[in-house]
Each structure stands twice: as structure tokens, then as C-alpha cells.
Amino acid sequence: MKDKNPKNENDIFSSDLIDETQTRIPDGYEIVKKYPLNPPFSYVDILYNQEKSSYLYFVDELKLNRTEMEIFQTLYRLIEESLESPSESKSTSFDDHLDVILKENEKLFLNNSNTSLEKVKYYLKRDISGFGIIDSLMHDISIEDISCSGNQQPIYVWHRNYDSIPTNIQFSSEDKLNSFVSRIVFRAGKHISSAFPISDLALQGNHRISVLYQKEITPKGTSFTIRKFKEDPYTVIDLIKFGTINLSIAAYLWMLIEAKMSFIIIGSTASGKTTLLNAITGLVHPDYKIFSVEDVAEININHENWFTLISRSGFGLGGEGEIGMYDLIKAGVRHRPDYLVVGEIRGSEAYVMFQAMATGHGGLCTMHADGLESAVKRLQQKPMDIPPAYISLMNCALVVKRVKESSGQSGRRVMNVAEITGANTSHAAFTWNPRNDHFNEDLRESILFKKIAESTGKELDEVLEEHTKRMNILKWMAEQDIRDYKRVSDIVGKYYRDPNSVLIQLEVQN
């Protein structure tokens, strides 16, 4: 969104470009790891302070000199002018548009080296079509989320190897932070203002941002948190390697998915619920129809017969035209999906989902709760109002939590896998033992395995034997480092259609 004062707008984006104060490693810190973010222009140094026992995420970004800064300002102005002028509507990338501007004004930049121009182009792309001063962070695949609690406060990241650590990046003024947020929200096709100071939306690249704007509801002023979207989502093989689940749990879930059982994944914020949901959904039979319903797109699966629905807010003060989760689930059920996947249940949409499960649809969803008992209580209270008799329609509950591993780093573990038999009764198929980081299992007494045996006319031993076969397939995939979600999905689909060919391949390669 264009500011009324182009000069101020330009200052907001560019004032950090020649600031050398953020490029000096602070006293007391030493580099423990270095890797590229957007080479050759930006890198990160992971710094450690022995005395404080603390880490710092230090972005080392190539700065512009004074001459390059002048080129940046000139090109920025030319780009603004070209965007304002009437022209033929063509879908061109930012790089193409910038190349046209440079060619049209090449006389202005004849005396400048290609290196200087490439640096300027990097910053123009970063500040206009990218994410400004946090753009380098968005290139780090090891970062799960980015949070800003106000201006002149260090931006924090959640790093997969170092947990929550501060960075050397901050917004130096309230105007710069407000301008950044307004631009990001506007670019996503949404609106934020003093009248509507809360926004939760999807950014380019399917990243998710939650914004609190100005000082309407927070004394510190504008703040935001970005949950980064992983283009290559984790699969069950990844979760096995991480220790979140083991081979036996993965094979168990695979068999329940084939039997069209329903699951609820329970956990606190950032415990890994959506990651686990994505991984489980990747085990669905390729011929099944999947409908996913979310507030913001986070589900990412490799499935041809997949319909994804996203809710939307209403327009204006009256909220006219709002399409909520309740409406989407009702619409989804009419399409007769084999599996209805809901990103998170928290309102009246839960009742529609349970009704769908009662009519034979499989269900997969997540819920914020600290355990099965509290989740069941939430389900039975307003606004969900699920009758106690319906609770057992949700066949299986997985409780996932963030834990401290023996290495001192954070990890996720499925604390227990419970087979729900009633509103107040369940059977623990798997439980995690924190003392030895081991999963205890009790599959001989599995209610759901017995149900599978009854419905297929098999003996329980035959079901357990099939479970072992799938464990062996998953073990082979882990050993061969077959973890890409497309390859995992292909092997799972092949086993559904021609299990013998997969087992023969396994025997040959072993």
C-alpha cells in the first residue's frame, strides 16, 4: 500500500541498508555455526555466549555503500512511477519489471559495476516484493516461526536446532513497523486498521501471520508472529527419525487410516499438531476423496483427489459474506468425501464433523488441549456441544507435546495414542516413557485392531502380522532415506494397490 509521502516510504524501507552497527558481532559471543540464507548477499552466524549460556541468531547481510544507496533510491522512485502509470495489464515478475526499468534508464547507471547493481537489485526485491528486513529469516528452512513484540525490540525466531533465540534484527521505529505490517497485510488482500486491529491471514508462500495492530489492544504497539510454511512437509518417515513416533505407531496409524478410522490430534500451540496431521493424511488411500477445511492454509499433502476449502471473513462492519468453518464442513459433506480433514476444531463446526463421522465419513482434526480428558470435556461443552454418545465416533486420539531431549534440545513426542471407547473410557495402545525415551505398546488388547479383524473376517494374529509387514516397509524406507512426501505417498499408494510387489521389492533389496 503506497504511503502518501514517497520520501518517508523510501526511508522506511531503506534506512537499514547502510547501517553498519548491526554487522558487528557483539562482545562475548563466538560463532558456533554459519550457513547461507540468500547467498551471496545474506548469511547467518549462530553465536553463543559462554557466560550467559545464550545463543544469538546473527544475520550478516551485505550492506550498500553511499553510491549504491543513491542508485537504490533512484530505482525505487522509478519503479513507483512505473507502477502508477497506466500500462497494458501483463502478468510479469518483479525481476522482469526491474530489468525493463534498468534497460529504459541504462544511461543513468553506465558507470556502475555489475556487482553494485546486483546488490541494489537484491535490496529492491527484498523490500518491494519480499519481506523487508526479515526477508533473510524467511529463507531459513530451519526457522519455524518469527515473532516481533514491538519496535526497538529484537525479533525472535524459533529455530529447529536452538529453540527460541533473539536475532540482531529489529524495527527501529513505530512508523517502520506499522508500515511493514500494513504493506504485508494489504499485499495479502486484507485490511488492518485501528478499527480492525486483529488480523490472521496467509502470506505469499502460504506462510501464516497473526497481527496485533498499533496500541489499540497491546501497550507495546504493533506486533506479529509468522508461522512459516514448509514447502517440503514432514512425512511419517521424518517423524520416525525425529523420535516423535516409532515404526510401530506409524504402521498402526497406516492400518487405521486404511480402515477409515477417525483421529483427533491434541496438543498445545506449536506442539506439532499440524505436522502430525499432514504426515497421517499422507497415508490415506490414493483412491479416497479428501476434503480439508481450514481457517488458513496449512495442510499440504500429495493426493490427487484432494479438495481444500479455506474460510473467509465478512465484508464491512456487518460482516456480510462471511464463510466460516461450519459452512465449509457442511458443503464438504455434500461432496461425499472419504476423509474430512479439519485444521482445528473449536466451535459449532465440530458438531457437523461428528455428524459426518456418524454417517461413515472418516475424520481427521486437531484441537488445542493438554490431554485427552480435557479435550473430551471441551468437546461436550459449548460451543461444540458434542453429545457423550458421539465421542467414541472419534476412534483414536494422539496427544503430542514438545519435550526436552537428552541432548538439551526441544523435540516433539506423541505422549500417548488412545483408542476412544466412550466419553470417559479409552484404551492406551501406546504410551511414551520419558525415562528411556521409549514407546510402550499394548496392541494385543487393541480395540481398533479387533474391530478391523471383525470387519475383514480375519483373526487378530493376521492383523498383527499385517502390522509387522508395514513396520518392515517403513523401516526400509527410513533406512533408504525415502522421506520425500511424494515418494512416500507413491510407495504407500503402491502397497494399497499391489502389496505383493512392494514386499517382493523389499526382499530383493534386503
Report the largest interatomic distance among the alpha carbons of the chain, rounded to a whole angstrom.
82
Pairing type for strands 208-212 and 223-227 reads: antiparallel
**Domain, as residue range, for 464:** 236-509
Average pLDDT over residues 111-132: 86
Average pLDDT over residues 286-309: 86
Q: What does the alpha-carbon distance between residue 137 and residue 59 come to, in Å, rounded to a whole number?
A: 8
Beta bridge partner(s), residue 166: 156
**Cis before residue 337, ω within 30 degrees of 0?**
no
Question: Is 14 a domain residue?
Answer: no
User: Which of the four pLDDT bands, split at 50, 70 and 90, describes residue 505?
Assistant: confident
Amino acid residing at 77: R
Site of grid cell 526511508: 11
- Write down the pLDDT at residue 371: 94
Question: Is 50 a domain residue?
Answer: no
Q: What is the CA radius of gyration of the chain?
A: 26
Q: Do residues 227 and 243 lie in contact, with contact meaning Cβ atoms separated by under 8 Å?
A: no
Q: Which residue has the higher pLDDT, 32 or 325?
A: 32
- Write down the pLDDT at residue 318: 58
Average pLDDT over residues 356-365: 91
Question: Is 260 a domain residue?
Answer: yes
Question: Is 47 a domain residue?
Answer: no
Average pLDDT over residues 472-484: 95
pLDDT above 50 (res 381) = yes
For the chain, what is the domain count?
1
Question: Is 82 a domain residue?
Answer: no
Question: Is 432 a domain residue?
Answer: yes
Average pLDDT over residues 188-207: 84
Residue 486: exposure state from Cβ atoms within 10 A (0-12, 13-18, ≥19): exposed
Average pLDDT over residues 204-215: 88
Q: Which residue has the higher pLDDT, 312 or 18?
A: 312
Question: Is 379 a domain residue?
Answer: yes
Q: Which three cell numbers stand for residue 145?
A: 516461526
User: Which of the four pLDDT bands, split at 50, 70 and 90, describes residue 22?
Assistant: low
Looking up residue 464, the CATH number of its domain turns out to be 3.40.50.300
CA angle at residue 477 from 473 to 480, to 5 degrees? Answer: 135
pLDDT above 50 (res 5) = no
Share above pLDDT 90 across residues of the chain, in percent, rounded to a whole number = 59
pLDDT above 70 (res 470) = yes
Question: Is 219 a domain residue?
Answer: no
The CA-to-CA distance between both ends of the chain, in Å, stands at 59
Average pLDDT over residues 194-206: 84
Other Cβ atoms within 10 Å of 487 Cβ, number: 16
- Write down the pLDDT at residue 12: 39
Q: Which of 174-183, 191-200, 307-316 has the lowest mean pLDDT?
A: 307-316
Q: Which of 85-99, 230-244, 435-449 has the lowest mean pLDDT?
A: 85-99
Amino acid residing at 263: F
- Write down the pLDDT at residue 418: 97
Average pLDDT over residues 362-380: 95
Q: What does the alpha-carbon distance between residue 281 and residue 274 come to, in Å, rounded to a whole number?
A: 10
Amino acid residing at 506: L
Mean pLDDT of the chain: 88
DSSP state of 107: G
